[in-house]
Amino acid sequence: MSEALIKERLRNLREYIDVTLEHLDLTSLHPLMEAPVRYMLETGGKRLRPLICLLSAELVGGEREKAIKPSLALELIHNGTLIHDDIIDEDETRRGKPSVHITYGVKRGILAGDILLSLGLKYAAETGDPRIVEWLSETSSKMVQGVALQTHYRRRILSEEEYLEIAYLKSGSLFEASAALGALIGGGDDVEVERLAGFGRCFGVAYQIRDDIQGILNGDEALNDLVNGDVTLPLIYALESSSITEAERESLLQAYERGSLLEADEVRRIYIQSKALERAVEKMRLYAEKCREALRGFKSSPPLECLLHLVDIYYLKMEV
């Protein structure tokens, strides 16, 4: 397939997901709670998790129509956790709009997140496949543990191994489930399910590293994770580096451990000088190559080309 056809196919799948979410039946909810739930779903997003689920189902010979319910379950659970994350992190915006808890209050925000999580499990149950419910239940637990670890270790210096564990729990586990559920609902065998689960796992860890990198490159956002005390892979690498002075290392530590202010340009300069940014990009691309490796056992097909394209545009061809 040409790149234009791949992009068109991905665009059509995203539209399919968006339209399905738009027409989601929320009439069982009281208007008090329907409003914040609908508000969150209408903020948009890349829809990567349901997209990967649909493509994985097609890759093993399944039909997208059969895979839409687990895809919806994934997106609903993802959005529910985002509401809770914004409350925990005290983030006031999400996707360019005021966060749910800013618009509707913290209490309604917490409850709206809970409702989205329960709706996700409802759609998982409607597939009639207990394996899908089990996968999502276990994944939800992993994601909560990831957030708990991140919160517990806030303003503490972590090893790369500890960081990668949190990255898997917070981000990798849901992408892992996205690909695995697609393979399950599509009728894939055990080997295909495991391969696609491995693809999703690596895609999700790479996604977290990418998020760290973008946080440094995007204007004043370079300060957010650092001052909030959230460890990132570039920070770990910078503190390990022998290419910066003790004064520069101390400045980073003060900002991370105590929330001291640093100029965004200065933070960015230290990350570049220490080669921390370069090392983080290399690690992200290593996980991207693992994604490609996980897909090597599948025959060439449009869904395979679409999955490989996602790896390319998000990781291998990312401009730094």
Cα distance between residue 279 and residue 268, in whole Å: 14
The whole-number pLDDT of residue 222 equals: 57
C-alpha to C-alpha distances, 54 to 36, 268, 299, 308, nearest whole angstrom: 27, 38, 17, 14
The whole-number pLDDT of residue 229 equals: 87
pTM, full prediction:
0.95
Helical segments of 126-189, H only: 130-152, 160-167, 173-185
243 forms beta bridges with none
Which portions of the chain are predicted below pLDDT 50?
A: none
CA-based end-to-end distance of the chain: 27
Question: Which residue ranges make up each domain of the chain?
Answer: 3-316
94 forms beta bridges with 97
User: Which of 233, 276, 229, 283 has its CA nearest to residue 256?
Assistant: 229
H helix count then E strand count, the chain: 16, 2
Specify whether the CB–CB gap between 306 and 10 falls below 8 A. yes
Contacts within 8 Å (CB) and 24+ apart, 189-195: 189/60, 191/297, 192/59, 192/60, 192/297, 192/298, 195/294, 195/295, 195/297, 195/298
CA dihedral 29, 52, 55, 180 (to 10 degrees): -90
The whole-number pLDDT of residue 57 equals: 98
The whole-number pLDDT of residue 258 equals: 80
The whole-number pLDDT of residue 319 equals: 67
Cα distance between residue 175 and residue 309, in whole Å: 16
The whole-number pLDDT of residue 320 equals: 64
Condensed to tens digits (0 to 9), the pLDDT of residues 224-245 reads: 788 788 899 999 999 999 899 9
Please state which CATH class domain 3-316 belongs to.
mainly alpha
Specify whether the CB–CB gap between 175 and 284 falls below 8 A. no
The whole-number pLDDT of residue 215 equals: 86
Cα distance between residue 277 and residue 315, in whole Å: 14
The whole-number pLDDT of residue 216 equals: 85
The whole-number pLDDT of residue 257 equals: 83
Cα distance between residue 204 and residue 49, in whole Å: 10
